[in-house]
Structure formats: C-alpha cells, structure tokens
Amino acid sequence: MADIVNLRQLRKQKARADKEQVASQKRALHGRTKAEKQRDRMVADKSERFVAGHHREKPGEAGDPSDGQ
C-alpha cells in the first residue's frame, strides 16, 4: 500500500518551495553583496568628510548664523 499523504501540507510545502525559488532568483537579479554595500557606505562617508572639510566656517565658531545671535 501507498503512504498516506496530507494534501494540505503537501500543497503548503510546494508553495513555500516555489516562493523560495522566486526569491532566490530576485536576490540574484536585484540584490547587492555585502562588499558592495560597505563600499558604497565608505564612499558616502568619504564624500561627506570632504565637503565638511571645505566649509568656510566650522560649526560652533563665532559669527555662526545658526547659533541665533
């Protein structure tokens, strides 16, 4: 005799496997690696420091219009 199979569980397992396969394909197409993300963060931090270093007046110095005086 054949094994008894719960069709509801079988359908759910198949649906999970299909979703995982689609997700894997999407990750491969649209995802970025950890190294790519770190590189982009490092470039952004470097550019922010570059711009901040070229301000005429540093924040908190006398005559700063943002201190309200």
Please check the confidence at residue 3 and state whether its pLDDT lies above 60. yes
Coil, helix or strand at residue 1? coil
Question: Residue 8 has what pLDDT?
Answer: 97
What is the per-residue pLDDT for 68?
Answer: 54
Regarding pTM above 0.75, the answer is no
Residue 21 is predicted with a pLDDT of 97
Encoded tokens for 60? 């908190």
Structure tokens at 40: 């982009």
- What are the backbone angles phi and psi of residue 52, rounded to the nearest 5°? -65, -30
Dump pLDDT digits (tens) for 24-62: 999 888 888 889 989 999 998 888 888 888 888 766 765
- Write the CA distances from 41 to 3, 12, 22, 24, 49, integer angstroms: 55, 40, 28, 25, 12
